[in-house]
Structure 1
Amino acid sequence: MQTLIKGGWVLTLDDAYREWPAGYVAINGDRITAVGPLKDCSPELEAAADIVLDTRGQAVLPGLVNAHSHLFQTFMRGLADAKPLWNWLKEEIWPFSLAMTEEDFYLAALVGCLENLKNGATSVIDMHYIHTSKANDDLVFEAMQASGIRGTFCRASADQNYQPELMEDRLTILAEMERLARQWHGAAGGRLTLAFGALNPWGCSPELIRAGAKQAREMGLKLQVHVAETQAVARTTIDTYGQRNVEWLADLGFLGPDTQLVHCVWLDEGEMDLAAQAGATLVHCPVANMYLASGAAPVRRWLDRGLNVALATDGPGSNNSQDMLEVLKFTACLQKVTTLNAMVLYPRDVLTMAVRGGARALGREDLGVLAPGMKADIVTVALQRPHVGPVHRAESALVYNANGNDVVNVLVDGRLVVRDHRATLVDEEEIMARAQARVNTLRQKLGKQGGGNDWI
């Protein structure tokens, strides 16, 4: 299948940050074959294309990477509008997740995958930690496969100091990782992958951290962990182990270039240095950090240390959406207001974190840039709308004006999974109707007020 994207404002995000206000991208199969100014696009190239996308008035850029989410939480939007982290978990997330069925986890994940795609994220890392049934994990993979997204299922767990029904023993965790790796890692032509997740330092024993990291590296998997999200989390780790979060992880051999540290709001300077020395990726979730009043991460200080930084929405239960274009604006503005420096981050800094930083977190050298030979994970975003245009600089319009509703087309592995704002592989209306019906049933089961079955 050959596809030609022509006429849009092409932002390559390559090292030279080349862009063309009128450009083209040619695709053959799952790879980009050519990119450049529209004047260089030959009539023969267009004649050979099976699909031609006229993207005049749109930005064309590599797909964004949502480097941390919890897809099952699409069923829990709006339940934590005025709750800090601990209350949110104990009063909403844990009870609701324990009431969910296997079908619920599939539907919630499918809604989450569609949301990511339609908001410009071609890749998502889903940290999933609700293993009330083994099938839950497989069904999330099935949802990723059905939606067409590039998905990493990060199987996270806790073996101590956590909600009892959600804890697992170490041998079960390792056995399930082996099973999922055999069945899913590299599935769908490499589009689906598995990662090892440690839920947080205080919820994971040193034995689990050591064994999980060892097993993951033997299988070639990435590692992800929540780190220092709140001051209370940082204090709990000190009280439990006598060390700060990253110090503890470093001593246990968890840190490395394959490690993703999520949140990192309350790291001290020494922890940042340890992460930089290890080559770890730090994942910034600005909207969730504000929503739960966790704090503001010092992203500029991370970048100044040479750390790779990726961006993420976090779960829909603490955001409450997965709009990666929205995350761009919050990333820039949160750094400005906390540093009192209007120049602390430029739009291209933010785009680079959201695209190339995410690709590096995934360990993918073939993602994050529009160039020949790279994977054709591409999004197009409408610029000629009253809240976006007239446009002076496309990078500024994307960071400060556009939102997920402006995403027009999405390609993953060269396949159109969203075309003219509509998902192409699944029936959105049918999925949303099923999901709403299940949430209504769960609300009744849990005795929650409001909502109901007759508002739609």
Structure 2
Amino acid sequence: MTKKLIYNGTVLTMNPDRSVYKPGYVYIEHDTIREVGEWPQDGSKQALLESASWVHDAEGKVIVPGLVNTHTHLFQTFIRGVSDDMPLAQWLRQIIWPSSLAMEAEDFYLAALIGCIENLKSGATYIMDHHYVHTYPENDDGVLRAMEESGIRGCMARGGVDLSYEPKLRETEEEIFANTDKLLDQWDGAASGRIEIAMGPLNLYGCSRAFLEHAAKYSERRQLISHIHVAETSDQIENTKARFGLRNLELLEAVGLLGPKTQVVHGVWLDDGELESIARAKASVVHCPVSNMYLASGVARVPDMLKLGINVALGTDGPGSNNCQDNLEVLKFTACLHKVNQLDSTLLPPMEVLQLATVNGARAMGRERDLGSLEPGKKADVVVVDLRKAHISPVHRASSALVYNANGNDVDTVLVNGQVVVEHGACTLVDEQEIIRRAQARVDRLRAKLAPEYPVFRVVE
């Protein structure tokens, strides 16, 4: 049995007592954490050092549970930075739709692989990819293959729309559910249990009521997470009111899609009654602060949600509306956005922000039993961040340094399921530089294809 030891660093366990060990250690057997605690200076744990086949001296580093990126769109790594400074509707029409329709199957695979690497190297061991572009039969498999090869833990919310959106991205109900069945049969539980499939109606303004009702019954029957964009902008509220006579969350509840396995993505424009409905249903909200600022969508009422006992998790959103997927960067944005929005500097202290990114993320994924904290018996998804940097040191509190100072470039080592997938800042399972080279060549080709019709894709430095 493979045994690994990370020792001599500051351990933020994120267990119910929020225990911190300085210095501490995490001892792993195969894919499971066996011991967590203080690392003695008297040599009494020498037997652990001698029994481990892989050891990591984490002096000057902080050891934390793997972060959970509860909402992204991996294919958008090929679109990041094409054009900034657009509201959501215009951004979709001029950037996302043309790009996604021009991408080929190989592009979706490489874009997802780059995205998985980026997530791992910024501390996310678990990602929820909301994938809704099915222009080639191989697209979904390519994304899931990227998750498998990179070593990340990933769930694909198989997205779809059947009513109003870019016409070439629409599907029939029959196509959506038949293809979701296929993914569940072929991929759910793959890669030693690292891969999962969820139900992902894209949004409430692009789906028919009949499809949403079918999705609710399908998710319940298959016991799937339902992951869906809700109330991201004020225009979306007006759209569903005009079409269905209901606000976004009211419609979600009316069709039966609001429950403990529901992930309400964004939830920016929710009123008091809708927040209370989410709390009653024990659903989760996925907060994407960088994307909400980037697209000027608004500020989600996260402090109010937390007061109501709502489980709030964090997401980067796709690189098209964030430009990166730096999961450590999201921590600082989360804290600062709500402090300034409510003019209250006491909101969201560092350990509370870390809880959103770890414990709450695991709970949103239905995995609080075996993920989200460093405790014996839980899966060995572990991240080591180097704090010995000029922009971080000297350190008073590791939690503060992690939330307010660190960024993805400070991630040193990452384990998923007990496997070392990033070591000393480098991916161990894939050739990162070769993948970047191949991806850039494909993106250059994509730009050349789109530039004649869409001037924004012309290279202007």
State the TM-score bracket (shorter-chain normalisation).
over 0.9
Give the aligned partner of residue 439 of structure 1.
443
Deviations 1:283-326 (A, max 9, x none): 00000000000011110000000000000000000001000100
3-state secondary structure, aligned to 1:188? helix
Pairing partner for 1:193 from 193, 196, 203: 196
Distance in 2 between the 1:134 and 1:360 partners? 32
Q: CA deviation at 1:217?
A: 2.1
Matched with 2:117 is: 114
Measure the CA separation in 2 of the matches of 1:323 and 1:69.
11
Indicate the SS of the match to 2:353.
helix
The answer as to 2:394 corresponding to 1:393 is: no
Aligned residue number for residue 379 of structure 2: 375
Equivalence for 1:43: 46
- The AA in structure 1 aligned to 2:391 is H
Q: Spell out the pairing of 1:249-328 with structure 2 (5 A cutoff).
A: 249-328=252-331
Unaligned runs of 5+ in 2: none
Give me the whole-angstrom Cα distance separating, in 2, the residues matched to 1:249 and 1:426. 40
Query: 1:16 matched to which residue of 2?
Result: 17
Q: Tell me, yes or no, if the aligned pair for 1:440 and 1:451 is still in contact at 8 Å.
A: no
- Identity of aligned pairs, percent? 53
Query: 1:360 is matched with which residue?
Result: 363
- The aligned amino acid for 2:366 is G
- The letter for the 2-side match of 1:398 is L
Q: Give the gaps of 5 or more residues in structure 1.
A: none
Map Cα deviations across residues 354-403 of structure 1 (whole Å, 9 max, x no partner): 00110001101100111110100000001111111111111100110000
- 2:433 is aligned with 1:429: yes
Q: How many residues align?
A: 453
Tell me the TM-score normalised to structure 1 length.
Answer: 0.98
Instruction: Find the residue that maps to 1:203 and give its secondary structure.
Output: coil
Q: Deviations over 1:22-81 (max 9, x none)?
A: 111000000000010111861111101000011111100000000000000000011231
- Aligned residue identity for 1:12: T
Give the C-alpha shift of residue 177 in structure 1: 0.8
Matched, 1:181 2:184: yes
Q: Which runs of 4+ in 1 moved over 2 A?
A: 448-452
- Partners of 2:170 and 2:458 in 1: how far apart? 31
- C-alpha separation between the residues in 2 aligned to 1:396 and 1:235? 40
Cα distance between partner residues in 1 of 2:190 and 2:150: 14
| Residue pair 2:448, 2:458 contacting (<8 A) in 1 also | no
The answer to whether residue 6 in structure 2 is matched with residue 5 in structure 1 is yes
1:125 aligns with 2:128: yes
- Could you tell me how far 1:336 is from its partner in structure 2? 0.4
Mapped to 2, the partners of 1:160 and 1:117 lie a distance apart of 35
Contact 1:80 1:318 (8 Å CA) reproduced: no
Partner Cα separation in structure 2 for residue 276 and residue 168 of structure 1:
32
TM-score of the superposed pair, with normalisation by structure 2 = 0.97
CA RMSD of aligned residues (A): 1.1
Alignment partners' CA distance in 2, 1:250 and 1:76: 33
Q: After the TM superposition, which of the residue ranges 205-214 and 371-380 deviates more from structure 2?
A: 205-214
How far has the Cα of 1:212 moved from its partner?
Answer: 1.3
